[in-house]
């Protein structure tokens, strides 16, 4: 077992969601896609946020993204998994557009897409006349976006140059699990949004049905690229701490098919893997559909006390309702 000796051990940190120091080791997870190294998963005993430990520091992270197969960057269409991924992406672009327009109640505005990858979502929204700023740290992905979609995608550093109070919507599609300083980013996003702005976040949910099925081989752990692994409770704690009101939780059930395919591959189940993955995807889809958060975004923000609290739409993929969390959603 090749372990990773470098990086910051999570035991020394306080939980960025709830401030607890109480981390428990919940097993070892392998980086199946690139390095083959093993990492620990530590879980906060108070809010169930999980952390990859040790967490590679910024200067070392690059080598874990070196694979040409890292799809959101390289945009390859080779292989069954990648083909399915591209089909699913087309479908999801439409869904994401719907989520944004419903959240803001109009089909135009100023949108910041952070972690834009090769820029497909940003491009799709700009075709609908949205004024879009796209940011992506990976230079290769920015180049692909510029060549294929003629999208101008900016490096992440531009985040510090954006004007405060200037966006209607900020979207983070599977981004937050990659960044070290979650709180720093969220409070910066808050300053960039208009008073009635909406922050839309999609992250994997480690309490989902397929996560429980595949356990440490669940592909959405994706260590060490994913530094954090969220539960609905931990995500809600982080966001309310930084002045956001949780407006709605929605599932992204299609992701479960892709994650299940990869998880079967990690199990070494190459022959019947796609069949098992299909059934796992269907079961997770059904589970998440049954648990769609039926509550709609409130018609207006509260009159007093919460004027400055912005709305957050959380999209946990293959989300399953945790009763403890749903009862705590604030809709004043």
Q: Please check whether residue 295 is in contact with residue 331, taking contact to mean a CB–CB distance below 8 angstroms.
A: yes
* DSSP label at residue 47: T
Looking at the Cβ atoms of 18 and 211, the one nearer to Zn ion is 18
Looking at the Cβ atoms of 176 and 250, the one nearer to Zn ion is 176
Task: Give CA separation, 97 vs 104, 147, 173, 259, in Å.
Answer: 11, 23, 12, 22
Tell the smallest beta-carbon distance from residue 22 to Zn ion (Å): 8
Looking at the Cβ atoms of 4 and 53, the one nearer to Zn ion is 53
Helix, coil or strand: residue 129: coil
Tell the smallest beta-carbon distance from residue 52 to Zn ion (Å): 15
Tell the smallest beta-carbon distance from residue 322 to Zn ion (Å): 15
* Contacts with 241 (C-beta within 8 Å, 6 or more apart), sequence order: 17, 183
Tell the smallest beta-carbon distance from residue 24 to Zn ion (Å): 11
Looking at the Cβ atoms of 46 and 269, the one nearer to Zn ion is 46
Tell the smallest beta-carbon distance from residue 238 to Zn ion (Å): 9
Q: Distance between CA atoms of 192 and 212, rounded to whole angstroms?
A: 37
* DSSP label at residue 255: H
Q: Which residues bind Zn ion (CB under 5 A)?
A: 15, 17-18, 20, 44, 46-47, 49
- Angle (CA) 112-114-115 rounded to 5° is 150
């Amino acid at each position: 077992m090749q372990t990773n000796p470098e990086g910051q051990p999570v035991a020394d940190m306080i939980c960025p969601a709830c401030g607890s120091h109480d981390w428990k080791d919940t097993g070892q997870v392998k980086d199946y896609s690139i390095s083959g190294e093993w990492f620990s998963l530590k879980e906060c005993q108070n809010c169930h946020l999980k952390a990859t430990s040790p967490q590679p520091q910024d200067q070392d992270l690059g080598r874990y993204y070196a694979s040409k197969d890292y799809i959101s960057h390289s945009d390859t269409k080779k292989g069954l998994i990648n083909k399915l991924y591209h089909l699913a992406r087309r479908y999801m672009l439409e869904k994401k557009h719907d989520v944004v327009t419903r959240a803001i109640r109009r089909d135009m505005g100023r949108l910041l897409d952070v972690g834009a990858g090769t820029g497909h979502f940003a491009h799709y929204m700009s075709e609908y006349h949205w004024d879009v700023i796209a940011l992506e740290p990976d230079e290769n992905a920015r180049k692909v976006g510029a060549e294929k979609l003629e999208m101008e995608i900016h490096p992440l550093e531009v985040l510090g140059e954006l004007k405060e109070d200037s966006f209607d919507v900020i979207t983070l599609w599977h981004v937050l699990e990659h960044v070290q300083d979650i709180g720093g980013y969220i409070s910066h996003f808050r300053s960039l949004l208009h008073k009635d702005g909406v922050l839309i976040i999609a992250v994997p949910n480690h309490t989902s049905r397929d996560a429980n099925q595949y356990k440490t081989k669940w592909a959405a752990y994706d260590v060490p690229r994913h530094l954090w692994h969220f539960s609905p409770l931990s995500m809600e704690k982080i966001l309310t701490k930084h002045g956001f009101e949780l407006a709605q939780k929605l599932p992204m059930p299609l992701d479960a098919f892709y994650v299940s395919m990869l998880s079967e591959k990690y199990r070494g189940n190459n022959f019947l893997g796609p069949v098992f993955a299909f059934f796992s995807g269907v079961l997770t889809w059904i589970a998440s559909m049954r648990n769609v958060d039926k509550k709609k975004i409130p018609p207006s923000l509260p009159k007093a006390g919460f004027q400055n609290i912005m709305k957050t739409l959380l999209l946990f993929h293959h989300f399953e309702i945790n009763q403890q969390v749903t009862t705590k959603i604030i809709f004043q």
